[in-house]
Amino acid sequence: MANISLIVGLGNPGKEYAQTRHNAGFWFVERIADKYGITLKNDPKFHGISGRGNIEGQDVRLLLPTTFMNLSGKSVVPFCKFYQVAPEAMLIAHDELDMYPRVSRPLRRGGDAYRDWETDRKSTRLNSSHLKLSRMPSSA
C-alpha cells in the first residue's frame, strides 16, 4: 500500500442496487474496514460514509460515496480537498465485468470506466491523471 492514504469504493446507493455488481467497490472497502477494524460512519458533509484507521502501519482513510457512481466526484473531490489528499495517493475501486473474479488491476486510459471517471473528474475539477483506479471483478 505504498503511498496510498485514501481508498474510495464506488457503488450505487439504495436497496435496489445493494446486491448488484456496481457495488463491488463498496464491498472491497467494507472488507478492508472489517479486516483492519476501521469503523465506517455516515459523513453527510462529504456525501458519503467514511472511516480512518491504520493499515499495515499507514494512516489511511476510507470513503464510500453515497452518490451514484457517475456523480462520485461530488463526494471525492471535497473530501480530498478537505483532508489534503493528493490524487496520486488515492486508490479508487469499482466494478468491472471483463475480469476474472478476485483479480484487480490498474485502470488504463480508454474504455467506458475510464471515460466515465474522466467526465466526472473534469466536471468536479480534480486535476490529475495520476489516479490509481482498481477495477474489481463483478462476480464472486
Q: What is the 3-state secondary structure (H, E, C) of the chain?
A: CCCCCEEEECCCCCHHHCCCHHHHHHHHHHHHHHHHCCCCEEEHHHCEEEEEEEECCEEEEEEEECCCHHHCHHHHHHHHHHHCCCHHHEEEEEEECCCCCCCCEECCCCHHHHHHHHHHHHHCCCCCCCCEEEEEECCC
Please give the positions annotated as active site.
Answer: 22
